[in-house]
Amino acid sequence: MNLKELSKHLGLSQTTVSRALNGYPEVSEATRARVVAAAQAHDYSPNTRAQGLATGHSRCIGHVISVGDSGEMVNPIFGDFMAGAGETYAEHGYDMMLTRVGERDEAETYRRLKARGAVDGIVMHAPRFNDSRLQLLDDLGLPFVVHGRSSGARVPYSYLDVNNRRAFYEATRHLATLGHRRIALINGQEKLDFAIRRRKGYEEGMEASGLIVDPALMTQDEMTEDYGYRSAVDMFDLADPPTAFLVSSIICAAGVRRALDDRDLRAGQDVSIATFDDCLSYFRNSAVPPVFTAMQSSVRAAGKALAQMLIDRIDTPGAVHVHTLWEAEFVVGGSTGPLKE
Amino acid sequence: MNLKELSKHLGLSQTTVSRALNGYPEVSEATRARVVAAAQAHDYSPNTRAQGLATGHSRCIGHVISVGDSGEMVNPIFGDFMAGAGETYAEHGYDMMLTRVGERDEAETYRRLKARGAVDGIVMHAPRFNDSRLQLLDDLGLPFVVHGRSSGARVPYSYLDVNNRRAFYEATRHLATLGHRRIALINGQEKLDFAIRRRKGYEEGMEASGLIVDPALMTQDEMTEDYGYRSAVDMFDLADPPTAFLVSSIICAAGVRRALDDRDLRAGQDVSIATFDDCLSYFRNSAVPPVFTAMQSSVRAAGKALAQMLIDRIDTPGAVHVHTLWEAEFVVGGSTGPLKE
DNA sequence: TTGAAAGCGCTACCAT
DNA sequence: ATGGTAGCGCTTTCAA
C-alpha cells in the first residue's frame, strides 16, 4: 500500500493524505481521523526512500567503527551503548546504520556516506590522538558527534567522554592505598585517545603515591584476551613482578586472570586486578571487599545522551558545541559512591 | 555532484553515464573510462535513496534485536558477529541497519520495516521456542535468516546455529570426568531456544555420567553479571553446594567468579567454572590445565556466513533453505581440538 | 552506441 | 480545507 493507493481508496488527494499523516494543521480533524484510521488499517508506512528523496534527508544516523580499533566493537559495553543510542533514535524517528571500515578506507567511507546521502549525521567512535577524521567531517559538512575526545585537534566538535584520566588516577591511588607498589598498566593502543588519557592518569597516580613508573609494567595493544594473558605472563617473569593490575578492558582482564590462575599465584601472593572499561570497572583484592561496577544503565544512558546530542546538531547545524564529561563511578563492596571519597 | 550535473559536465546523457557506471555492456569502453574517471574526480556516488526508489530495493540489511533479550546486544560476541556480517555486506554493497525493539512492538516493527521498504532482508537474533516471528516474516514475504534456531516452528527457514546441545553435553561430561558430581547450570532465559538446547545437553550429560539432575543447581534468567553472582551465592548456601559451574555467558561467569572470590572458596575447595557463550568457551579446573577458547575469528566467520546466506536468499527468493550447524570447538590447555576426543 | 522520457513514492509549493 | 503538479536523483524502457 502506497500513498497513491491510500488516497484513491479514501477519495482524497495524495496531498491531503500526506498532510493528514504528517500532522499539518490545515487538515480538518475529521479528515485526519479518517486518514489515520485507513493508514493503520492498511498497514501503510511511507516509503523511506521516497520520503527521503522528497525531503532531502534520510532520517538515518551512521555509526562508523574502524577496523584498526576492532576492540571497540568486541567491547562488551559497545552493545549497551548502541542500545541506548538506538532508543533515542527510535524516539525521534531515526534509523541507525552501522559501518565497519578499514583504517585505510576511512576517509573514502565518510565521503561516500555523505555523497550517497545515506545518513543525516555520524557518530564517530574511538578517536585517535589529533584525529584527522574531525577535519574531514567538518569539511564535508556532515553533522557529527564524537564518543570520546581527540587531544590536539583544532577543529571544534561535540563529544561525550568518560573522565579516563581521573578514573585511572583514582584507581591507581586506590591500589596504592591498599599497599601495592608494583602496579601494572595493561592499556589499549596508545594511538587511541582514551588510552593516552588513561596512561596519564595512571602515571599521575603513581607519582602522587610516591611510586615509580616502571616501563616494564606498562603495555599497550589491541585489547584481546590473549594480549592480557601474554602481558601478565611476561610480567610475572620479572625479578620484581607486579602485585596489582590496572586493565583497560574486561576482555583483557580475562586474560590477566587466566595468567594468574596458571601461576596459581593468587593463593600464595596478594594480587589485585582492576579493570576499567569505560564505565565498567572491576576491582579485586583479597584484603578488601570486592569492588565492582558494571553500570550498564550508565553506558546505555551515555548512548542516549550522545544520540540526543547528534540529533540536536542535525536540527541546529550552527549551534555551539557541547562537551559532556562523565565521571566514572565506582561501587565499593556493594555500596555506591565515587572511589575517591 | 549528482548524475545530472555529472552528465552535463561530460556532455553525455544521464542514461549513458548511468550505464557506464553500472557496467552495462552497450557503452563503449572509451566512454566508460571517461565517465568513471570523471565520477572519481568529482567524488560522485549515486544517491542511495534515488537509486532505491528507481530500482525498488534498498541495498540495506536489517538486524533486529529484541529488548527482552537485551543480553544479546550486551553479549561480547555480538560485536564480533556484527563485524563479520558487516564485512560481507560491504563486499556486496549492502548497508547494515540495527534495530532494537521492545518485545511488545516486535510484529509492528517488522511490518513497518517491510512497508517502508527500509531493508531488503532481515537477520533475526535470539529466536525463542516456537517463535511467532518466523511465521510473520514468512507472511510478509521479507527475506530473512535466523541466528539460531526455533524448536517447534512449522515455517521453513534458513539458519546458522552452534550445536548448543552437544557443546553443553560435552562440557558436562568433561566436568564429570574431572570428578565433579555437583555441577551447576547457570543458564539464559529458557524461553530462548539456545537456552533450551543447552539445558538439554546438560541434562543428557549428567545422565550419561550417572549424575543426578538437581533443580536446585539450575537457574535461568537474563544473563547479567548480577544474576550470575546471585545464583552462585544462593547455591553456596545449599547443604550440598556445587563444585563446578557451567555458565551460559561470560558476563554471567564474571558474577559467578565474584561469588567464588567472595567465599574464598577456590583456595580450599576444588571449584571449576565453565562458560559457554556461543563459540566462546571457558573452562577452569585447578586439577587440569586451563581450557579456554575465545574464538573471535569463528564468531566473525559465523557473522560472515549468515550474512552471505541472507544475501543469497535475497538474490534467489525461492531457493531451498540452508541450515548450518557449527560444532563448538574447545581449546584445551593451549592445544586445539574438540573436547570430546 | 547513445539519448529522450517515463516513473519510482513522496513532499511542498501554488492554486482554489 | 483540499487538490494539482513539479520536482527529489536515479534506472529503465523505447527510439534512434
pLDDT in tens, A14-49: 999 998 998 888 888 888 999 999 998 898 999 999
Instruction: Quickly count: other Cβ atoms within 10 Å of residue A211's Cβ.
Output: 17
Compute the distance between CA of residue A196 and CA of residue A198 in angstroms, rounded to an integer.
5
Of the given ranges (A183-197, A217-231, B139-153, B266-280), which has the lowest mean pLDDT? Answer: B266-280
3-state class of A2 per DSSP? coil
Inter-chain residue contact B117 with A47, CB threshold 8 Å: yes
* B207 to chain A, closest Cα gap in Å: 31
B13 contact to strand C (CB, 7 A limit) = yes
Give the distance from CA B231 to its chain's centroid: 25
Compute the distance between CA of residue A134 and CA of residue A146 in angstroms, rounded to an integer.
9
What is the C-alpha R_g of chain A? 25
Q: Check if the beta carbon of residue A156 is closer than 8 Å to that of residue A321.
A: yes
Give, in degrees to the nearest 5, the angle at Cα B227 between A328 and A261.
Answer: 75
**C1' nearest to CA of B35: which nucleotide?**
C2
Q: Evaluate the CA torsion angle A39, A45, A47, A48 in order and state its sign.
A: positive
C-alpha distances (whole Å) from B205 to each of B149, B169, B172, B218, B253 are: 21, 5, 5, 14, 20
pLDDT in tens, chain B (341 residues): 889 889 988 898 899 999 999 888 888 888 899 999 999 889 899 999 999 999 999 999 999 988 765 555 556 678 888 989 999 999 999 999 999 888 788 899 999 999 999 999 999 999 999 999 999 999 999 999 999 999 998 999 999 988 888 888 888 887 788 778 888 999 999 999 999 999 999 999 999 999 999 999 999 998 877 888 899 899 989 999 888 888 887 677 767 766 766 664 444 444 555 554 432 333 333 333 333 333 445 778 889 999 999 999 999 888 999 998 887 655 433 322 333 32
Provide, in whole angstroms, the distance separating residue B48's CA from nucleotide C9's C1'.
15
Provide, in whole angstroms, the distance separating residue B293's CA from nucleotide D15's C1'.
65
B73 → closest Cβ in A60, A72, A80? A80
The residue behind cell 543447581 is B217
Residue A284: pLDDT over 50? no
Find the helix or strand (DSSP H, E) in which A278 lies: none
A14 contact to strand D (CB, 7 A limit) = yes
A23 contact to strand D (CB, 7 A limit) = no
Compute the distance between CA of residue B119 and CA of residue B240 in angstroms, rounded to an integer.
53
Compute the distance between CA of residue A143 and CA of residue A316 in angstroms, rounded to an integer.
10
Interaxial angle between packed helices A193-208 and A164-177, expressed in degrees from 0 to 180 and rounded to the nearest 10: 30
Strand C contacts in A 50-79 (CB under 7 A): 50-51, 53-55
Query: Nearest chain B Cα to A297, which residue?
Result: B74
Q: Check if the beta carbon of residue B299 is closer than 8 Å to that of residue B77.
A: yes
Find the helix or strand (DSSP H, E) in which A73 lies: helix A71-74
**C1' nearest to CA of B56: which nucleotide?**
C8
Provide, in whole angstroms, the distance separating residue A329's CA from nucleotide C3's C1'.
66
Provide, in whole angstroms, the distance separating residue B46's CA from nucleotide C4's C1'.
21
Which residues 293-322 in chain B show a CB within 8 A of chain A? Answer: 294, 296
Compute the distance between CA of residue B284 and CA of residue B288 in angstroms, rounded to an integer.
8
Read off the DSSP letter of residue B215: G
Which residues 156-215 in chain B show a CB within 8 A of chain A? Answer: none
Compute the distance between CA of residue A90 and CA of residue A68 in angstroms, rounded to an integer.
29
Best CA proximity match to A70, nearest among A97, A103, A98: A103
**pTM for the whole thing?**
0.88
Strand D contacts in B 53-92 (CB under 7 A): 53-55
Pick the residue of B2, B4, B45, B49 with the most A CBs within 10 A to test the interface with A by mutation. B49
Provide, in whole angstroms, the distance separating residue A162's CA from nucleotide D13's C1'.
57
Give the strands of the sheet with B291-294, arranged side by side: B218-220, B183-187, B244-247, B272-277, B280-284, B291-294, B330-332, B335-337
